[in-house]
């Protein structure tokens, strides 16, 4: 690789300083970070920065990796101490790649793809909403809830996890359906086959909205059918396989010190 695009969390001085050091390491190896057609995207910050960078990478059809400022994250795989090894791997093309599925949503004229999750949630904080859920055209349940998360396996450790969902190995292709603070009999997550088609409908007239990887896509009305499925595109990550899934879980939750 000869040209890398850097996406940096500019509101964090430690991230901008690390980006400058990393750019210098790449320059020493004849890899540029100037504007132009890139071979890959490197995000420096945290998982939120990786999500921002990944949307750029997917549109360009190039791979991505993330350097975490702090603890090793699920999306930002590399630690600050590993930037020299990462620069070596980029300049010599000795890294490995790993593809992950995305989650797509279509409602009316709106469509988008998520790396982590698609969330349908209430707009008025004091009022829950009712969401009727179908899977592959068959009714599953109607939830009285604050919202519904449909996550990829990679996204299982994001919002879905904080809502009580399972931690899923990202190598497992699946869709994870997790209600948010449900007032329903079915309160647990449901793990679906990767080719499942999830249809959500808002019951009643309470307003709701759709967020894609934490960013609002659109408002949704009761008559709007929301269709969510595995995305047609994948996101490709560069990796040196130094932080396998069990280790990443231990590091993220501080289990080595428990």
Could you list the active site residues?
47
Q: Give the separation between CA 105 and CA 232, rounded to whole angstroms.
A: 11
Cα torsion angle, 176, 177, 182, 183, sign: negative
Nearest to 68 by CA among 80, 58, 84: 80
Q: Give the separation between CA 189 and CA 12, rounded to whole angstroms.
A: 35
Q: Give the separation between CA 196 and CA 188, rounded to whole angstroms.
A: 18
Residue with token string 């982590």: 116
Nearest to 114 by CA among 101, 103, 99: 103
């Amino acid at each position: 690789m000869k040209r890398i695009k850097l996406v940096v969390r500019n509101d964090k001085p430690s991230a901008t300083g690390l980006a400058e050091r990393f750019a210098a390491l790449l320059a020493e190896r004849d890899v540029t970070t100037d504007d132009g057609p890139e071979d890959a995207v490197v995000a420096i910050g945290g998982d939120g920065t990786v999500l921002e960078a990944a949307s750029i990478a997917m549109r360009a059809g190039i791979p991505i990796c993330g350097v975490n400022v702090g603890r090793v994250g699920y999306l930002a795989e590399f630690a600050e101490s590993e930037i020299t090894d990462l620069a070596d791997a980029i300049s010599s093309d000795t890294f490995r790649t790993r593809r992950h599925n995305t989650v797509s949503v279509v409602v009316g004229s709106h469509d988008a793809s998520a790396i982590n999750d698609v969330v349908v949630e209430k707009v008025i904080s004091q009022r829950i909403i009712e969401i009727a859920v179908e899977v592959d055209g068959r009714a599953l349940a109607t939830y009285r809830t604050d919202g519904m998360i449909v996550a990829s396996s990679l996204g299982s450790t994001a919002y879905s996890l904080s809502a009580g969902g399972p931690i899923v190995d990202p190598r497992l292709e699946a869709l994870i359906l997790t209600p948010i603070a449900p007032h329903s009999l079915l309160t647990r997550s449901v793990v679906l086959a990767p080719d499942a088609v999830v249809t959500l409908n808002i019951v009643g007239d309470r307003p709701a909205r759709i967020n894609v990887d934490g960013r609002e896509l659109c408002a949704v009305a009761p008559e709007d059918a929301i269709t969510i499925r595995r995305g047609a595109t994948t996101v490709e990550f560069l990796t040196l396989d130094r932080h396998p899934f069990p280790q990443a879980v231990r590091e993220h939750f501080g289990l080595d010190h428990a």
